[in-house]
Structure 1
Amino acid sequence: MFQEAINYPRNGDSAIKNLAIGGLLLLFSFLLVPAFLVLGYILRALRMVMDGEEELPEFDEWGELLTDGLQVFAIGFVYALIPALIATVAVIASGASIGLGGDSAAGGLAAGLIFLVTSLVLFVVSLALAYVLPAAVVAFAREDRLGAAFSVAELRPLLFSRTYATGWLVAFGISFLAGIVIGVLNAVVIGVILAPFVSFYANLAGTHAIGEAVREMPAMEEGPDSTAGQPAV
């Protein structure tokens, strides 16, 4: 699975062109619209991989890419509200503990404990969300409706599938390696330009790992009523 994922971004006659476009869009992602286009392209690639297509999709039908990208962003934004809410509650609780304790050491100790506990909780929650979010995007890609990204019935078969877990670990490993490469590139001036291209390549490779895992999920892992993973008619 790892080898196929790493090679995936190079598949197809237009692979270099598509990688160049994706990297340039990420380079200008601070303008937001290019970032949404990349998200839409990643979603298109995910759908094609789940359907058994091993070549990169084309950058075309830009309106569709933008619409899909906005929906993927919305999914990520909703899930990101969870750690944001935890952090907000922690800040309020820390302020309250300091206020109640005045300048005493007890107030500072309480605030410090709240900070440590919150940091641990945020780490666990963030890791869990990193595992859940790709499954949510997969559910959206399969059902083509936003509600599927938050449906327990849709997410449960994926999250408790060993096949999905394997694909996620491969994608995580690719992302980790890409982070190291980007860190090295950032040590030189040209790294600022090259980093978006490395990131786009890694995202496509990780997308293939997730899509291939979903495609290979045994029917018993998906549930008796699931039609995912069956050949499209």
Structure 2
Amino acid sequence: MILDIYKDALEYSAKDWKTLVILGVICLFSFLLLPAFLITGYNYRVINTAVHGIINGRDPLPDFDDLIEMFVDGVKVVIVQMLYLIVPMIIFLVFAIVAGQLTGVASNALMLIGCLITLIVGVAACLMSQMGICHMAYNDGAFSKAFAISEIKEVIDEIGWFECLVTYIGLIIIILVISFVVTALIGLIFMAFGISGAVLGADPSSVFVLGALVNSAVTMFIVGPYLSIFAARSMGLLYTMQI
């Protein structure tokens, strides 16, 4: 099941490269904050398509239309994510405050325990928030459904907590591996060009700068949007496993 979800999401995310470029252009201006909500809103549409679809279906990528609705959806998703992270943040702050009152080994040990507990609770909160967003999408965008804890827990119970955690953690690992591999390959290619140029007596610094720019462009306009769609599709399909 898990591998089928990954396979579907990896293929789905590459259906339309024009969409990836559009998302990349929007991402370029995300420092203005407003475009960032459009990206989040688009990923929500991907989730919405997934929760009403099936694995290995023929779902198309969502259209870029009704930008106001997409922006509002993005705001709703960000609010959901932030609210779910309040608990792990409070836990971390409590441990940090208490550890600050201690000294030496006791302080370090307490802070380490606090970090571990925060990490565990944080992963659970992130999983709950993602499933909450999926639950909201499945219920026609009803914001309250993102916080229907009993219903969301029931969904996760039906899928299986182990399967959900493995899928979510595996998703993070895949994203990190793909990002690293693409960045490393481009870096190695331009490093080879730079070394070759240096052997021939040319200044390799311009080649390395160009490599860094190409790496940034590929990450922003292709890899980043591809992985964001991949993550959204994967979580949406995971949600359908209980239906």
Normalising by structure 2, we get a TM-score of 0.75
Q: How does 1:83-162 map to 2 (within 5 A)?
A: 83-97=88-102, 107-143=103-139, 144-160=141-157, 161-162=159-160
| Shift in alpha-carbon separation, 1:24–1:181, aligned structure 2, 3 A | farther
The number of aligned residues is 206
* 2:239 aligned residue: 214
Alignment match of 1:198 (pick from 215, 223, 226): 223
The structural deviation recorded for 1:129 is 2.2
Contact 1:5 1:209 in 2 (8 A): yes
Runs of 4+ in 1 over 4 A off after TM superposition: 185-188
| Shift in alpha-carbon separation, 1:215–1:191, aligned structure 2, 3 A | same
* 2:171 aligned residue: 171
| Shift in alpha-carbon separation, 1:177–1:56, aligned structure 2, 3 A | same
Deviates more, 1:126-135 or 1:115-124: 126-135
Q: Is 2:106 the counterpart of 1:62?
A: no
- 3-state SS in 2 of match to 1:56: coil
* 1:8 aligned residue: 12
- 3-state SS in 2 of match to 1:10: coil
Deviates more, 1:158-167 or 1:137-146: 158-167
Contact 1:90 1:114 in 2 (8 A): yes
**What amino acid sits opposite 2:7 in the alignment?**
Q
Contact 2:51 2:137 in 1 (8 A): no
* 1:101 aligned residue: none
| Shift in alpha-carbon separation, 1:123–1:179, aligned structure 2, 3 A | farther
Contact 1:174 1:202 in 2 (8 A): no
**What amino acid sits opposite 2:97 in the alignment?**
I
Contact 1:50 1:212 in 2 (8 A): yes
Q: Is 2:65 the counterpart of 1:79?
A: no
| Shift in alpha-carbon separation, 1:110–1:169, aligned structure 2, 3 A | closer
* 1:102 aligned residue: none
Kindly, what percent of the aligned residue pairs are identical?
A: 24
Distance 1:27 1:154 in 2: 37
Unmatched tracts of structure 1, length 5 or more: 98-106, 218-228
| Shift in alpha-carbon separation, 1:167–1:17, aligned structure 2, 3 A | same
Normalising by structure 1, we get a TM-score of 0.78
For the aligned residue pairs, the C-alpha RMSD in angstroms reads 2.3
* 2:199 aligned residue: none
The structural deviation recorded for 1:55 is 0.7
Deviates more, 1:190-199 or 1:28-37: 190-199
Report which structure shows greater RCO (CA 8 Å, sep ≥6). Answer: 2
Contact 1:75 1:137 in 2 (8 A): yes
Q: Is 2:21 the counterpart of 1:20?
A: yes
Deviates more, 1:167-176 or 1:208-217: 167-176
Deviates more, 1:190-199 or 1:41-50: 190-199
The structural deviation recorded for 1:141 is 1.0
Distance 1:203 1:92 in 2: 35
